[in-house]
Amino acid sequence: MLDRDPKKGPTPAEDASEQPYPGTDRRMDPPADHGEESYEGCGKLEGLTAIITGGDSGIGRAVAIAFAREGADVAIGYLADMEDKDAEETRRWVEKAGRRCIVHQFDVRSKEQCTAFVERVVGEWGRLDVLVNNAAYQMSQESFEDITEEQLDRTFRTNIYGYIYMAQAALPHLKAGSVILNTGSITGMEGNPQLIDYSSTKGAIHIFTKSLAEKLKEQGIRVNCVAPGPVWTPLIPATFPADHVQEFGKDTYWERPAQPVELAGGYVFLASADARYISGEILAITGKTSSR
């Protein structure tokens, strides 16, 4: 069980090493807590099936473990060969909870691959109840002028095109009571001078959430968003220089980044019947009050 003191949590090691994108969980120092030993479920998602993109590590793994312990079968998508071991570790925890798990390598930038992933899940399990759009790409730049056309294209195609493609693929299989959950960011509310393109996509995700919620209300499909603040995931050492990593999260009330498991409960709540009256909302789990 998690310690109730919010000041107790991860502090990046002084010698925290950078990783190539997208990063791997096994190289995190200190290790991240995805809820492997701390999350306790109580059947809130019993009998449901869920897809989670970016589900091999970080927030995605924490949500996969939480969903499984709440009774859902979980299909996780991930991008690169270097994440194979992380994806298999997530599968291990899902299956340890007694639930089925599909592990699928694909690229959310491809509409065809998004559709193929969804069709595989529905073909094997016969239903889809929850889609969690969580895959993300970011790369920090000190100079605005250093954002290349290639980086800009990759950021937008991963972070917003991919969310739209996955929602389009999932929608024919969703019914009243189904849920789409998007991962936004505090950067989409406050901006970030080193992550201008990334922040722009996260702002787009927030508005995408509200727009799609309005569009799908007559079908009884809810659409919501979790907007995290700093979270200790492989994306951080994979996209920031070491000196930034050491300072990561120190501007929060608790002077540290969140553990992935500290976000998982928000996704469970929004996916469950407890939140059946909630749609089009941005749940900000940032560790501080917005300054803007």
Total tally of structural domains belonging to the chain: 1
Q: E strands within 111-159?
A: 130-133
Residue 2 lies in a domain: no
* pTM tops 0.75, yes or no: yes
In 3D space, the residue among 4, 52, 8 whose CA is nearest the CA of residue 30 turns out to be: 8
pLDDT of residue 15: 47
Residue 249 lies in a domain: yes
Report the chain's mean pLDDT, rounded to a whole number. Answer: 92
Active-site pick, 39, 78, 198, 267: 198
Contact (Cβ atoms closer than 8 angstroms) between residue 25 and residue 65: no
> What order do you get walking across the sheet with 130-133 strand by strand?
101-105, 73-78, 49-53, 130-133, 179-183, 222-228, 282-285
Residue 107 lies in a domain: yes
Strand, helix or coil for residue 185: coil
pLDDT of residue 292: 46
Average pLDDT on 112-121 reads 98
Question: In terms of residues, how long is the chain?
Answer: 292
pLDDT digits (tens, 9 = 90+) for 30-82: 788 999 999 999 999 999 999 999 999 999 999 999 999 999 999 999 999 98
Range of the domain at 259: 44-285
pLDDT of residue 1: 65
pLDDT of residue 43: 97
Contact (Cβ atoms closer than 8 angstroms) between residue 103 and residue 53: no
- Cα(132)–Cα(130) distance, rounded to whole angstroms? 6
Q: Which residues contact 86 (CB under 8 A, 6 or more apart)?
A: 24, 25, 26, 56, 57, 61, 78, 234
What's the CATH number where 78 sits? Answer: 3.40.50.720
Residue 230 lies in a domain: yes
pLDDT of residue 7: 73
Least confident of 11-15, 151-155, 246-250: 11-15
Residue 28 lies in a domain: no
Catalytic residue check, 137: no
pLDDT at 235 over 80: no
pLDDT of residue 166: 98
Residue 214 lies in a domain: yes
Residue 222 lies in a domain: yes
Residue 291 lies in a domain: no
Element (H, E) at 33: none
